[in-house]
A and B are shown apart, each in its own frame.
Chain A
Amino acid sequence: AQTVTQSQPEMSVQEAETVTLSCTYDTSESNYYLFWYKQPPSRQMILVIRQEAYKQQNATENRFSVNFQKAAKSFSLKISDSQLGDTAMYFCAFMVGNFNKFYFGSGTKLNVKP
């Protein structure tokens, strides 16, 4: 069975500071993909960043980066220079190999304060 756990239901950060959202997963598969999605209030869910399990290098996308620890099955998201527009629900998601099915974590609500 595949599971994704986000242990932080809600977090707050001051504008311009750095915050890290945690995600752990459990699988016996070797070929999988990890994603962070952002869902702003009443707005569309969009992809923030993705990581292929076979790649050792951590993915980065501008202010967003991940710390992928395969042995520990950990996939945390670091947001640098937080902006008010980063306020959203963040979902960690996991997909096995060639299957279309995503497994989502329960989400972390991030509030960026001015």
Chain B
Amino acid sequence: DTEVTQTPKHLVMGMTNKKSLKCEQHMGHRAMYWYKQKAKKPPELMFVYSYEKLSINESVPSRFSPECPNSSLLNLHLHALQPEDSALYLCASSQDTGSSYNEQFFGPGTRLTVL
């Protein structure tokens, strides 16, 4: 299985809602990532988990809260978002750090709209 899956595909939420994005991979990868992508722009790194520990937080607002319950799952909890947070949220995984096989495999993304 060489796939990263993300649910839901689309999400519409109000500014007072709490929701979660989910990401799953079964490739045995030990590094997982959350990116935010605006239209016609490159992905912007938000968080990196390495061996289930948060290793990089790119100064993301606290209304985004990542969680890595196990090596296959990555969640992004959303609370009190703003309309400017509307974007495509991409999950990715890679084998691990320090490996030659370090390309990132991307999921299809969750299209988030904040009203």
Contacts and interface: CB of A to CB of B under 8 A. Distances in A.
Interface of A: 33, 35, 37, 43-47, 50, 52, 89, 91, 95, 98-102, 104-107, 109
With a 10 A CB-CB cut-off, give which of B43, B45, B55 has the most chain A CB atoms: B43
Interface of B: 31, 33, 40-43, 45, 48, 50, 55-56, 90, 94, 97-98, 100, 102-109
Contacts of A109: 40
Contacts of A52: 100
A35 B101 CA distance: 12
With a 10 A CB-CB cut-off, give which of B50, B94, B103 has the most chain A CB atoms: B103
Nearest to B98: A98
A104 B50 CA distance: 20
Contacts of B100: 52
Given A35-B103, A100-B55, A107 B50 contact: no
With a 10 A CB-CB cut-off, give which of B40, B56, B94, B100 has the most chain A CB atoms: B40
A106 B45 contact: no
A113 to B, nearest CB: 20
B56 A107 contact: no
Given A98-B97, A100-B97, A107 B103 contact: no
Contacts of A98: 97-98
A76 B108 CA distance: 26
Given A104-B42, A106-B42, A99 B90 contact: no
Contacts of B105: 47
